[in-house]
Amino acid sequence: MMDAPSYRFGLVALLAASVCGGLALQAQTRRPGARPTPAPAAQPAQADEKAASGGSKPLGAELAIRAAADDYVKAFNARDFQAIGQQWTEQAELHTDNGNVVRGRDAIVALIKAAGNHRPKAKISINIDSVVLLGASAGRVHGTLHLKDEGEVGSWATRFSSLRVLESGQWRLAESRETSIATAAIDDLAWLVGTWKAEGPAADLTVRYEKALGNKGLIGKISGKSPAGDFEVVEVIQLRDGELRTWIFDSSGLSGEGFWEHDGARFNRTIHGTSADGAPASSVQVVTRTSSDSFLWSPIERMRGGSRLPDLAHVKFTRVK
């Protein structure tokens, strides 16, 4: 039997916020995305670190990485491909959604240039979910790239995971990996509306979802009773820029955010946030509908402070009304 704090950690989807304390655009495909396997980063000079991170402080480095992503958006939307080239290292690699690997700055920029010229009205935006520093000179970035095009493709979103390294005073992309995302829609989650209950080994749970925001979103309340204490979580789900986003707030004051995906058989809810001790944390909850009145909830891929936590056993929820 798992202990109550660990159970709550997974179930309320608040990462470690509980009592347990693309940046490239493909020319040949509509929907890139990403999750990276970071490559070793070269050690830059100390002067580079101070110039780009505000004195090598972690907060300064994260802000500099986020600013580099903002500059990437501005460069693409202005079709400034020279500036885009400065975003990549000379030996960078782009792993595209269809399994191809584009190697080298020149080849990557040529691909992005072809995409930009093919879709002259397309504009991109980037939402960064998390930045995990891998030392003073490298950082792993997870997020979503959104594209809006008044022409042939309309709007879509893609997940990316990239590695940025500090080089010559600039946070450059050494690697980016892209994978397609199956975006869920509000209508796909309409079956959740109602009240559900589950009895677990360490907590009894009640979940209530209702339509909100002019039927363009859902609001859920999760309440639980356990020997470790009662708790409550509020979830807000809304479609943003072609992606189903979620925000979660815990009764202790902690929070997380992420997105829903749907592959036709099950739903994945991915959450990123910060634990009570300030460590980055994330988790994926797999929601499998087993009938019109029941579903299974399975917490997997739980990370806290760079360490993998064990998956939790699934919990069965049954509709009560």
**What is the pLDDT, as a whole number, of residue 241?**
64
Question: Do the beta carbons of residue 277 and residue 21 sit within 8 Å?
Answer: yes
**What is the pLDDT, as a whole number, of residue 38?**
37
**What is the pLDDT, as a whole number, of residue 320?**
93
The first and second tokens of residue 90, run together, are 């000379």
Helix (H, G, I), strand (E, B) or coil at 71: helix
Alpha helix (H) ranges present in 78-182? 81-85, 105-118
CATH of 4-20+183-319, one of 3.40.190.10, 3.40.50.1970, 3.30.420.40, 2.40.128.20: 2.40.128.20
Domain boundaries along the sequence of the chain: 4-20+183-319, 46-179
The first and second tokens of residue 133, run together, are 């520093």
**What is the pLDDT, as a whole number, of residue 20?**
26
What is the rounded end-to-end Cα distance, in angstroms, of the chain? Answer: 29
148: left (phi over 0), alpha (psi -120 to 50) or beta: beta
Smallest CA-to-CA distance from 118 within 110, 126, 128 is with: 110
Q: How far apart are CA 195 and CA 182, in angstroms?
A: 27
Helix (H, G, I), strand (E, B) or coil at 189: helix
Question: Do the beta carbons of residue 111 and residue 259 sit within 8 Å?
Answer: no
Element (H, E) at 206: strand 204-212
Strands 170-179, 88-95: pairing is parallel
**What is the pLDDT, as a whole number, of residue 17?**
25
φ, ψ (nearest 5 deg) of residue 10: -75, -40
**What is the pLDDT, as a whole number, of residue 235?**
95
CATH assignment, 46-179:
3.10.450.50
Over its length of 321 residues, how does the chain's per-residue pLDDT go in tens digits?
333 333 333 433 332 222 222 323 333 333 333 333 333 333 333 434 444 443 445 678 999 999 999 999 999 999 999 999 999 999 999 998 778 899 999 999 999 998 888 878 888 999 898 999 998 999 999 998 887 776 554 556 778 999 999 999 999 999 999 876 655 678 888 899 999 999 866 678 999 999 998 878 899 999 988 777 888 999 999 887 667 889 998 887 778 999 888 876 788 898 988 877 778 888 999 999 999 899 999 999 898 888 889 998 889 999 997
**What is the pLDDT, as a whole number, of residue 57?**
55
